[in-house]
């Protein structure tokens, strides 16, 4: 047998030894406790020659460059990123077994039709919310491990949302309904975003922030408790996605206040595109009014439309509050929220 020849590692650096992360009381080893030794040193700039090695590994200097384009801590990091990863795992649910499907009762046809129409629309948005972070994830340097794990959990959450809304549309005597090209143009303009920061701003803050309000509204006006439960579980997941957006943009803006202008321009460019290419889906507008009014009689639809208008006002107020929380001046926050609300009646 030939001898295994260990290379001379004199100039590579020293690996850690003797690290012992203890399990928490009854809770296993928590990611929040893993910022120890060299594994705990998150670089400001990820060195290109570390390939797919974990932070804290000692890497052969001849490792090929992978050139992950998102390689600055300020761009992706959030102070609470390890909390968010642990919360994401604790919050997982199963679209097969965690929804009391057996309790679903037949509904009046107009309410079932509206529910199926909303589910059809939700699925389009959920696909966008799955594909966009999946695309962004592959660009982030693995030295920002916690960010990778978080974005992977988001992709997993959105896959579950696609699944649960599909199942709801098929479960109760209806089926999948209409898709408007306007919604597809709107979502395409999000999926086409290439810059991590602009994409994350448009998705995590403006898109999912507004979508979360929509889910809360749908939970309120849902025609039955099983459907309400679905909207509630999806909203809880969205809360984490928005939470990441808020935390990491706050962090980024602290390191680079000039970013405000880039983000404003991203919102403006998308709004300009949407004004000429997209509009509200009439199918979705009608379905929302039917659910909010409790039926499809003209006076119910009229009452529903009034509630939806109220929802738009609340969405605007919440967006402004969130933008101010991230670090925008109030006037700028108002302008960005108006751009989003005025041009994106499709919510995302």
Q: How far is the CB of 234 from Fe ion (least distance, A)?
A: 6
Instruction: Name which of 129 and 292 has its Cβ closer to Fe ion.
Output: 129
CB 56 within 8 A of CB 37: yes
Q: How far is the CB of 35 from Fe ion (least distance, A)?
A: 26
Tokens in use for 345? 């009646």
Terminal Cα-to-Cα distance of the chain (whole angstroms): 63
Instruction: Name which of 203 and 301 has its Cβ closer to Fe ion.
Output: 203
Residues that bind Fe ion (CB under 5 A): 126, 129, 158, 161, 208, 238, 241
Q: How far is the CB of 88 from Fe ion (least distance, A)?
A: 11
Alpha-carbon distance 240 to 88, whole Å? Answer: 7
Residue 24 φ/ψ, nearest 5 degrees: -75, 160
Q: How far is the CB of 346 from Fe ion (least distance, A)?
A: 15
Q: How far is the CB of 158 from Fe ion (least distance, A)?
A: 5
Q: How far is the CB of 237 from Fe ion (least distance, A)?
A: 6
Q: CA angle, corner 120, sides to 297 and 284, nearest 5?
A: 40
Instruction: Name which of 154 and 296 has its Cβ closer to Fe ion.
Output: 154
Instruction: Name which of 144 and 150 has its Cβ closer to Fe ion.
Output: 150
Alpha-carbon distance 174 to 179, whole Å? Answer: 15
Q: How far is the CB of 129 from Fe ion (least distance, A)?
A: 4
Q: Maximum CA pair distance of the chain? A: 87
Instruction: Name which of 95 and 339 has its Cβ closer to Fe ion.
Output: 95
Instruction: Name which of 241 and 252 has its Cβ closer to Fe ion.
Output: 241
Q: Is 24 helix (H, G, I), strand (E, B) or coil?
A: strand
What lies within 8 Å, CB to CB, of 144 at 6+ separation is 42, 46, 73, 76, 77
Tokens in use for 337? 């929220």
Alpha-carbon distance 300 to 188, whole Å? Answer: 33
- In DSSP terms, 24 is beta-bridged to 28
Q: How far is the CB of 289 from Fe ion (least distance, A)?
A: 23
Tokens in use for 107? 């509904």
Alpha-carbon distance 222 to 341, whole Å? Answer: 23
Instruction: Name which of 288 and 301 has its Cβ closer to Fe ion.
Output: 288
Instruction: Name which of 246 and 301 has its Cβ closer to Fe ion.
Output: 246
Alpha-carbon distance 259 to 262, whole Å? Answer: 5
């Amino acid at each position: 047998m030939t001898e295994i020849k260990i290379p001379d590692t004199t100039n590579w650096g020293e690996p850690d030894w003797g690290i012992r992360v203890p399990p928490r009381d009854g809770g296993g080893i928590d990611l929040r406790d893993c910022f120890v030794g060299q594994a705990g040193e998150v670089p400001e700039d990820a060195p290109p020659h570390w390939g797919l090695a974990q932070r804290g590994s000692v890497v052969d200097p001849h490792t090929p460059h992978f050139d992950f384009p998102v390689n600055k801590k300020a761009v992706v990091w959030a102070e609470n990123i390890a909390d968010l990863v642990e919360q994401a795992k604790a919050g997982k649910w199963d679209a097969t077994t965690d929804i009391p499907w057996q309790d679903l009762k037949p509904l009046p046809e107009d309410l079932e039709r509206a529910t199926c129409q909303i589910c059809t629309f939700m699925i389009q948005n959920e696909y966008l919310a799955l594909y966009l972070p999946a695309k962004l994830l592959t660009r982030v340097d693995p030295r920002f491990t916690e960010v990778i794990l978080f974005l992977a959990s988001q992709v997993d959450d959105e896959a579950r949302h696609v699944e649960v809304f599909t199942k709801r549309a098929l479960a109760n005597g209806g089926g999948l309904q209409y898709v408007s090209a306007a919604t597809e143009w709107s979502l395409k303009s999000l999926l086409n975003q290439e810059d991590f920061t602009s994409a994350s701003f448009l998705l995590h803050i403006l898109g999912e922030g507004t979508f979360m309000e929509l889910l809360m509204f749908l939970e309120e006006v849902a025609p039955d408790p099983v459907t309400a439960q679905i909207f509630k579980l999806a909203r809880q997941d969205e809360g984490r996605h928005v939470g990441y957006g808020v935390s990491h943009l706050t962090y980024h803006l602290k390191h680079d206040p000039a970013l405000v202008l880039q983000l404003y321009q991203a919102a403006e460019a998308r709004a300009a595109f949407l004004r000429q290419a997209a509009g509200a889906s009439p199918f979705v507008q009608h379905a929302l009014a039917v659910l909010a009014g409790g039926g499809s009689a003209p006076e119910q639809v009229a009452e529903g439309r009034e509630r939806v208008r109220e929802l738009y006002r609340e969405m605007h107020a919440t967006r402004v509050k969130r933008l101010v929380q991230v670090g925008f001046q109030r006037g700028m926050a108002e302008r960005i929220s108006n751009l989003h609300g005025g041009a994106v009646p499709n919510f995302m």
